Structure 1
Amino acid sequence: MTIRDEDYNQFSDMVYWLDPKHPNYDPSLKEGRIKQYNGQKYQILKIKTEPSNGMQAMAIAPLDSNGYPDTTQLTVAFAGTNFGGDWRDVVTDGQTVGLSMEQLGWNPGQAGSAQEFADWINLTYPHAVVTTTGHSLGEYLALMIAAENEWRNVGFNGPDPYGILSTDAKKWIENNPGMLTNYRNFADLIGNLMGNGTGAEIMIGYTKGSPANPLDAHALTLWKFDEDGRLRIPDNTYALMDGQQLEQNLMSKFVTSMYLLKTLEAKLNASGGGLSGTEEIYLDATLARSIVTTASSLLKVAMSKVITHCQEEMDKAEELWNKILTSARGASSDLSESEMESQLSTVGFTKARIVNTPNEKYQQKIQEAKEVGETFESLASEINSKIIAVVQQDQDLARQLQF
């Protein structure tokens, strides 16, 4: 199944409810319990709480068609700061976020506790496709754990943990753009702390100006989703995004698409790379093809946004140059066209600087976007071929999937 932005938002909220001091505390959140959110059932596989520093985290998996947890795709959610009841969270905020320290005196810090939980996940489910999520301090931890363990992240309103990351994690981030997605609100003073060293930020314009209460712009409930569970991005946000933001949005969509296929691939490779009816792994052919089709569609939309933005910027550059020439002609009617352009060049106004150089950069971005699309299409074709090859080897599965 596809775990959506709206689901990650729900998990980021639900993990807060593990804290008995939280107003929404839910004592029914126990290991092994089945919960239903947004029409899908999930099992809580493991809960991690650390009394010394107030950390809460949980690992959950969706249930398959037979009611068993699908441990090929896990979500690990981390709770943020409980300002209303747990002073240990506030200490961790100052220690981990403010000082970029994993340990301060007697307090081992939530960063260390979070990595202990990640170690358990790696040991228990070594072949799982893992995505971390969280809100505020929870997203800070989720970003850190994703980077340190080479996992994917989708979260909300998180300060950036770049200062606390290891050298290896920083190198991995640089080589794997789009794996970390930190949705932030323009007006959120808390979530926008610590810069954007990880490059995970996708800034969304959900509020106008600065609200009287800064927590209003930081709220997890502020985020809106479409009928397919995807984050709803206001039209004005694309106009506010710079080239880096648009590229990050594209790469985030691309990684989402890749993870759909990676999860499918994990199922196909279960138990040493083969599938059989006795393993009770049922892959609906229509669903398998839908995954590839949906992923392709998402990527094309994102690519279109990037290409449109680049084309608009090139048009603006050409328009600016023409305005400069028009103004110059009006002020220097006695000069020839070449003499006029020569005079403009003495003050830095050249077509190469205003039009040609920026256009080369935008053309390169367009080409990069197209290459990403070609890479994805190649992988999608490879996965489809693998589906067909596996099914042909297992007639029992072939009957189930009705190929």
Structure 2
Amino acid sequence: MISDRDYKVLANNAYEVDKEKNDNPIRENRVIEVRDSNEKIVNEYKVLKVHDNEIENGMQAMAVAPIKNGKPDTSQVVIAFAGTNADDGLDILTDTQTVGLNKDTLTTSVEVPSNSSKTETHKKIVDAQSVTALQFADEIRKKYPNASISTTGHSLGEYLALLVAAENKWLNVGFNGPDPYGILSNEAKEWVKNNPGWLTNFRNRGDAIGNLMGNGTGAEIKISLAMGLNPLKGTFHNLSTWKFDDKGRLIIPKNDYNKKAIQQESERQLMQQFVMGMVVLQELKAKFQASGGGLSTNEKIYLEDSQALAVVQLASSEFELAMTNTIKMYQEGMLDLEKLWQQCVSKARNRASDLSHGEIMETLHSLNCTESTMVTLPNEEFREKIAKAKQMSEKFTRLVSEIKSKLAELVQRDQELARQLG
């Protein structure tokens, strides 16, 4: 899986596609380095294609693939969209007309010569960045039809990245983006509703720009950083505010506000492990089903059966770990609710010692503070989430079992063939 840190670096580098902003703009074949906190290179990405629409609407984007064993691994492709360049009037118009007004066209002004010596200002209507972003994504999808594609971006870039991911049913991880729900197709709106966890828009609680346009896509993970709450402070919107651990995962400070964000992040990790694991296993299953012979005769699906088994075991163990952590968090949440209710009752008794137990309960009920509202109903939601997680686990386990069975069959067939030839 591509890490949060990698997505952040790619989102940041997308800005460098803009030739108006950069004397040495990013172009095809450029290698982008991802470094850890010690400045050690941990990953590299090769730029496959860029889009720099500086004249019409100002949209910039790039498609990249991770470099594995010295070559780009195009089974995974990330499309990174650039955010607003404050010096680019087309970006500013996009923020107003597309993000603010949900328009799919961009109206600009151009000066043209008139019959006199003066020039005249005329309106020019072109496709909005949202339109060209989808076109660029479609171009990449057609060029790499077998790739697992995801999107990223920052600010306006994440707005476009969310749009593209929702319309194409792709994964997304981005930062500080306004929500594009208002311009999604009906099909995309239905998809985001039924597929929580596929879109991730990390938002700083104090960021006035990144929190625009609500959260219709459900992608928001809003995090309170140790920065106060001044929404007009520009640093709240900066990519540099986000920090990552040694594995490249975004660090969410542990505080009372971030309890929901931490739970959402756990659910996201579970969903992404499930999605990516299922993709890997389904591809493996398809290859095995296409095999007419043993592993060694089927165009060398893998060099040896142990390598294929290792892929299955890794996908299975990573998913099980994510599921265990998520269920544990749900269970801890249920215990926290019970503790909170007991604390509420205890405080009420201490402050109204002259009231009977029944009178205290009646007073709490009048404030909609009951065991049902604080414990029973929320716990039902937690139980539903645990049940869904277990259903995902059962589906995952069935596929793993099926692949292992097929793998054993192929190995046995391969061994029999070897004996016959020997």
- Using the size of structure 2 for normalisation, the TM-score is 0.80
Greater fraction of residues in strand = 2
Deviation at 1:27, TM superposition (A): 3.8
Corresponding residue number in structure 1 for 2:113: none
Deviation at 1:58, TM superposition (A): 1.7
Partner letter of residue 329 of structure 2? K
Of 382-391 and 138-147, deviating more is: 382-391
Deviation at 1:305, TM superposition (A): 3.0
1:112 is aligned to 2:114: no
Corresponding residue number in structure 1 for 2:115: none
Which of 361, 365, 377 in structure 2 is aligned with 1:361? 377
CA contact (8 A) 2:281 2:400 kept: no
Specify whether residues 281 and 22 from structure 1 end up closer, same or farther in structure 2 by C-alpha distance, changes over 3 A only.
farther
Corresponding residue number in structure 1 for 2:8: 9
Corresponding residue number in structure 2 for 1:225: 244
Deviation at 1:9, TM superposition (A): 0.7
CA contact (8 A) 2:152 2:161 kept: yes
Corresponding residue number in structure 2 for 1:20: 19
Corresponding residue number in structure 2 for 1:183: 202
Deviation at 1:81, TM superposition (A): 0.7
Corresponding residue number in structure 2 for 1:331: 354
Deviation at 1:89, TM superposition (A): 1.1
Deviation at 1:16, TM superposition (A): 1.1
Secondary structure at 1:235's aligned position in 2? Answer: coil
Partner letter of residue 397 of structure 2? S
Deviation at 1:386, TM superposition (A): 4.6
Corresponding residue number in structure 1 for 2:190: 171
Deviation at 1:64, TM superposition (A): 4.1
CA contact (8 A) 1:160 1:193 kept: yes
Partner letter of residue 61 of structure 1? A
Partner letter of residue 7 of structure 2? Y
Which of 58, 62, 78 in structure 1 is aligned with 2:62? 58
Secondary structure at 1:104's aligned position in 2? Answer: strand
Separation in structure 1 between the aligned mates of residue 33 and residue 357 of structure 2, nearest angstrom: 71
Partner letter of residue 91 of structure 1? L
Secondary structure at 2:19's aligned position in 1? Answer: coil
Corresponding residue number in structure 2 for 1:121: 140
Unaligned runs of 5+ in 2: 35-40, 108-124, 416-422
1:293 is aligned to 2:293: no
Deviations 1:283-318 (A, max 9, x none): 564454233323332333343334323321222123
Corresponding residue number in structure 1 for 2:271: 255
CA contact (8 A) 1:187 1:207 kept: no
Specify whether residues 124 and 266 from structure 1 end up closer, same or farther in structure 2 by C-alpha distance, changes over 3 A only.
farther
CA contact (8 A) 2:46 2:64 kept: yes
Corresponding residue number in structure 2 for 1:82: 85
CA contact (8 A) 1:118 1:145 kept: yes
CA contact (8 A) 2:177 2:203 kept: yes
Corresponding residue number in structure 2 for 1:71: 74
Which of 26, 29, 36 in structure 1 is aligned with 2:27? 29
Secondary structure at 1:240's aligned position in 2? Answer: coil
Deviation at 1:56, TM superposition (A): 1.1
Specify whether residues 113 and 350 from structure 1 end up closer, same or farther in structure 2 by C-alpha distance, changes over 3 A only.
same
Specify whether residues 26 and 251 from structure 1 end up closer, same or farther in structure 2 by C-alpha distance, changes over 3 A only.
farther
Corresponding residue number in structure 2 for 1:278: 299
Specify whether residues 115 and 212 from structure 1 end up closer, same or farther in structure 2 by C-alpha distance, changes over 3 A only.
closer
CA contact (8 A) 1:74 1:129 kept: yes
Separation in structure 1 between the aligned mates of residue 345 and residue 231 of structure 2, nearest angstrom: 43
CA contact (8 A) 1:152 1:180 kept: yes
Separation in structure 1 between the aligned mates of residue 280 and residue 103 of structure 2, nearest angstrom: 38
Of 151-160 and 68-77, deviating more is: 68-77
Deviation at 1:267, TM superposition (A): 3.9
Partner letter of residue 45 of structure 2? Y
Deviation at 1:218, TM superposition (A): 1.0
Separation in structure 2 between the aligned mates of residue 108 and residue 272 of structure 1, nearest angstrom: 45
Secondary structure at 1:360's aligned position in 2? Answer: helix
Secondary structure at 1:308's aligned position in 2? Answer: helix
Separation in structure 2 between the aligned mates of residue 380 and residue 363 of structure 1, nearest angstrom: 26
Give the aligned length. 383
CA contact (8 A) 1:300 1:373 kept: no
Corresponding residue number in structure 2 for 1:103: 105
Separation in structure 2 between the aligned mates of residue 109 and residue 352 of structure 1, nearest angstrom: 48
Of 382-391 and 163-172, deviating more is: 382-391
CA contact (8 A) 2:208 2:232 kept: no
Supply the RMSD in Å over aligned alpha carbons.
3.1
Specify whether residues 262 and 69 from structure 1 end up closer, same or farther in structure 2 by C-alpha distance, changes over 3 A only.
farther
Specify whether residues 297 and 321 from structure 1 end up closer, same or farther in structure 2 by C-alpha distance, changes over 3 A only.
same
Secondary structure at 2:299's aligned position in 1? Answer: helix
Separation in structure 1 between the aligned mates of residue 65 and residue 140 of structure 2, nearest angstrom: 12
Secondary structure at 2:105's aligned position in 1? Answer: coil
Separation in structure 2 between the aligned mates of residue 351 and residue 160 of structure 1, nearest angstrom: 34
Specify whether residues 41 and 287 from structure 1 end up closer, same or farther in structure 2 by C-alpha distance, changes over 3 A only.
farther
